[in-house]
Amino acid sequence: FLILILFFHDNTWYLLNTFTQTVGVYVQYVILAGFDNDAFPQLNYEFQHTGEQLWGDRNVAQHIVATLNTTFSDPVEYYDSSPTWFMDGWTVFYWAWWINRAGAQLGEVILVGLFAPMLLCFFVLTVFGALGIKMQRVAELALHVQPDWSKGVVNCAELGYLDNKPVGVNALKLKSLGYYALSCRKSTDHVLDILEPYGSLTPLLQVLVLIGIIMFFVTSADAGAYVDDIIAANGLENPPVLQKVWWAITQGAAAQALLSASSDGLSTLQAVSICAALPYTFALCYMCTALIRACDAAIDDKTYLSKRKGFSTSIVDIFENFSSADEAAMTKVMPTKERLKLLLRNVYYPYASLYVAGLETYGPSQLVYVSCLATALYYLWILLLALVPLNSGTHTLAWISYLFFTSILTSMRYQVRKKWRIIGNLVEDFSTSLLLFPFVLAQLQLEIESHTGRA
């Protein structure tokens, strides 16, 4: 309702043109923006030495400055690039805010859960964005202050703004008409500022905005509490209402605690939300794979149906006593205690499981060689990491050694899968070997031992 009022009350033709143009720009740049990670501006962290980074020489700037007896130029200004911190709050990190879940038939999810909200978001963001640009241009043209488009900078002092408030004579006159230089205002004020030029409609529109914001947070909290309630009730579709109320209260209390934890509580809440969403970005990748396989099963795909649906054990079914993924009679069930011992052994002595894992894919002499090589690379990885405090360059060799180790393990898992026609792909083999190698070793050992005559 709010968007329709703005759409028809303001310059409708301008908003329609903007919607068409921005959708076209989105389609044109969605791939480019999706893969953009600001690689070169991110390199500035090494040059500026403004914080710790995972990779790279943290002392490169100090070494060069000391050797040349000079200062380092500011890379942002020198190359006229985007700010170094820009990627920290955009693209991949920004997308973490949009991760959500839905359950329905596939066609309904695609139509109602993807396309309809996407088009609605396009329209809403276009209306507010276009009106914001219009207001900013009105202020710049009326106050005769031209922005620096190459750097995206506006001189707020020339516009008559101080501490995000209009203080200049003309800026105050413009405020009386409902127009602000939005670039000089707080981001939290923008949505209400945009509604100022509409006279007697302004109070109604601002109330509608506040109602919409409240409904958004209430429905989001309600959905989160409902999901927590279902999980706590062990999957019941209609969990206890009082339990749902409990989860809603605890979520609200946790959010308030985060807001009160620092002077900039909103940033704290945003940081926690992004960190909490990070695991879901990995989980979504696996969920996409699961969805594809579910679709193959639904249409009775012959290739899918002809393959085994999993190894004799799963990667992390430790506390399920390793019942088979497809309930095969040949599964060797291992108690949880024994399984934990096996995982621990794979951490400090991977050779035994590597040897068993290669029994069906390598010859006797080749098996010993490959198992010894992989074990040596694993121990070399640990040794080189331990030497990092003495020589920072050893961490590079350490991770190269680990990558070779996981490549050998990936090859073993791929060969076993291929021989026994187990569904999967090379990407899954590599990702599990890279992140969960003790579990992969145990899975391969139990798979080989489950076959007749290979215990």
Q: What pLDDT shows up at residue 376?
A: 95
Q: Provide the pLDDT for residue 89.
A: 59
For 228-253, give one letter per residue: b (16+ CB within 10 A) or e: bbbeeeeeeeebeeebbeebbeebee
| Cα torsion through 135, 141, 143, 145, rounded to 10 | 110
| pLDDT at position 20 over 70 | yes
**Confidence class for position 104, pLDDT limits 50, 70, 90:** very low
pLDDT at site 263: 67
Pairing of strands 161-162, 165-166: antiparallel
Assessment of whether the complete model's pTM goes beyond 0.85? no
In whole angstroms, give the CA distance from residue 133 to residue 129. Answer: 6
Whats the size of the chain, residue-wise? 455
For the chain, give the mean pLDDT.
Answer: 80
Are 98 and 58 in contact, with CB atoms under 8 Å apart?
A: no
pLDDT at position 102 is 44
Q: Is the pLDDT higher at 414 or at 227? A: 414
pLDDT at 328: 46
Residue 198 has what pLDDT? 85
Q: Show the 3-state SS of 405-449.
A: HHHHHHHHHHHHHHHCCECCCHHHHHHHHHHCHHHHHHHHHHHHH
Tens of pLDDT, residue by residue over 271-289, are 777 777 777 777 777 778 8
pLDDT band at 365 (very low <50, low <70, confident <90, very high): confident
- 27-41 confidence digits (pLDDT tens): 888 787 777 777 777
User: What is the pLDDT at residue 383?
Assistant: 94
Confidence category of residue 292, pLDDT binned at 50, 70, 90: confident
Give the dihedral of Cα atoms 178, 180, 185, 190; nearest 10 deg: 60
Residue 82: pLDDT over 80:
no
* Mean per-residue pLDDT, 247-262: 79
Higher confidence at residue 318 or residue 163? 163
pLDDT of residue 101: 43
Enumerate residues 6+ apart whose C-beta is below 8 A from 389. none
Residue 401: predicted pLDDT: 94
pLDDT score recorded for residue 57 = 57
Of 65-74, 133-142, 181-190, the least confident: 65-74
